[in-house]
Amino acid sequence: MILFYMSIILITGLLFGKIAKKLKLPNVTGYLLGGLLIGPLLTMAGIHLIPEAAYEELHIISQIALGFIAFTIGTEFQLSYFKRVGKLPIVIATLESFFAIIIVFVLLISFGFDMRFSLVLSAIAAATAPAATIMVIKQYKAKGEVTENLLSVVAIDDATAIVFFGLFVAIAKTIGSTSNISVTWMILKPFVEIIASLGLGAIAGILLSFGVKWFTGRGNRISLLLALLFLVASAAEIVKQSSPDFELSTLLACMMMGAFFTNLANEEVLDTVLYLTDRVTPPIFIMFFVLSGAELKFDVLLTVGGIGVIYIVGRVIGKLIGAYLGAELANGSPKVKKYLGFGLIPQAGVAIGLSIVASSVVPQYAQQISAVVLSATFVYEMVGPLITKKALTAAGEITPELAKQKMSH
């Protein structure tokens, strides 16, 4: 029956992706809406298209999707790229990610929310969706220093977001641990987990870069990539089972795997593997986002209220402050300081992925976290591109004639 459910999920995603395109919405929004229909909406009508028990078996799709997302982010980490763009976008990306987390965390704690819940939810605030921002830049042919640095920042952002997420989630797990461990180990543990995760990814990246020289066929290369992604995920699972209080981050490991591979492989091999990845992942991502929508509970969505407002507003404030301070520290121009942060508002795929990981850390808040992140995604994806357009126009990097045009995908 699992194959039947997967078929329903894929068909739903394909149909709603088309509908989203017609309505000038991002595909991700369509997939989520499709998931809401076949999940909570039909359940309210008394129709259980996908039974509750099936979701547990379908979770493997989320693991594979997250592995691919993290690996692809890692492949952006080319040393030659960082040498070319300099320190400005790296400093901005680091600080805007950090401040988004800190502002949301401080607000949640101030309003009396649980410490672990606040740590985990705020950790997701760092992620930015590059697709919406890049769409605006391409559509309006934006050019200039704000645009150039914005492109670099959104490329780096997901990596800084995953690193900060790994650290904050590790702290949350340490706080929630019931075992009798020393204070020193409590402080060191998050850093040891991150270093171990990055080490696992580095080994997998080295194996992949050597393996693709031996396996030259396209089918063999994508099979090797899948095998290593599965190996990284299973290694993290084995560590968790053997030592429940120590957990490796599959996201960080897969990201580091991508980073090592992109710097060790030659350009031709890298392009081939990324091309193959782009051909293999669409059905996985469609199922991943439809499932994210399907698992949402409407009664929880109705209780989002205040938490959603804190998250949505706090994250935007954090992004703007962090981007400004980053530009100030790295000697960015007044235009970059003033306008770049407004291009970092959209949030989508990676944030939803992080919310699924977060749910396993604080399972009692799983539904609430998913509801907040999905609600925020809808808001950000609706208003983010418009704000980016206005900021780049104000910066003088979109010509007034083009700015008057209606936005269409």
C-alpha span between 267 and 75 (Å, rounded): 12
| Mean residue pLDDT across the chain | 80
Long-range contacts of 12-18 (CB under 8 A, 24+ apart): 12/37, 12/38, 12/290, 13/286, 13/287, 13/289, 13/290, 14/286, 16/290, 17/286
If you count DSSP H runs as helices and E runs as strands, how many of each does the chain have, helices first?
A: 19, 0
Assigned domain for 275 exists? yes
C-alpha span between 256 and 33 (Å, rounded): 32
- Look at residues 64, 58, 47 and name the one whose alpha carbon lies nearest to residue 3: 58
Per-residue model confidence (pLDDT) at position 307:
83
- Look at residues 211, 91, 212 and name the one whose alpha carbon lies nearest to residue 156: 91
pLDDT in tens, 288-299: 888 877 877 666
User: Quick check: 10 pLDDT over 90?
Assistant: yes
Asked if 312 and 57 touch (Cβ cutoff 8 Å), the reply is no
Give me the number of domains the chain comprises: 1
Assigned domain for 344 exists? yes
pLDDT in tens, 151-193: 778 777 777 787 788 788 778 777 766 566 665 666 677 678 7
C-alpha span between 14 and 20 (Å, rounded): 10
Q: pLDDT-based confidence at 42, cuts 50/70/90?
A: confident
Asked if 119 and 172 touch (Cβ cutoff 8 Å), the reply is yes
In angstroms, how far is CA 280 from the centroid of its own chain?
19
Q: pLDDT-based confidence at 14, cuts 50/70/90?
A: very high
Assigned domain for 338 exists? yes
pLDDT in tens, 338-377: 888 888 887 766 777 777 777 777 777 777 888 888 778 7
C-alpha span between 61 and 184 (Å, rounded): 37
Signed CA dihedral, 100, 101, 106, 109: sign only: positive
Per-residue model confidence (pLDDT) at position 247:
72
C-alpha span between 256 and 201 (Å, rounded): 5
pTM (2 d.p.): 0.72
Assigned domain for 409 exists? no
Residue 330 phi, psi (nearest 5): -95, 20
**Where would I find the beta strands (DSSP E) of 3-72?**
none
Assigned domain for 408 exists? no
Assigned domain for 315 exists? yes
Q: What is the CATH number of the domain that holds 67?
A: 1.20.1530.20
Signed CA dihedral, 293, 299, 302, 304: sign only: negative
* More confident position, 225 or 69: 225
Assigned domain for 196 exists? yes
Q: Which domain holds residue 154?
A: 2-50+58-403
Assigned domain for 339 exists? yes
Per-residue model confidence (pLDDT) at position 26:
63
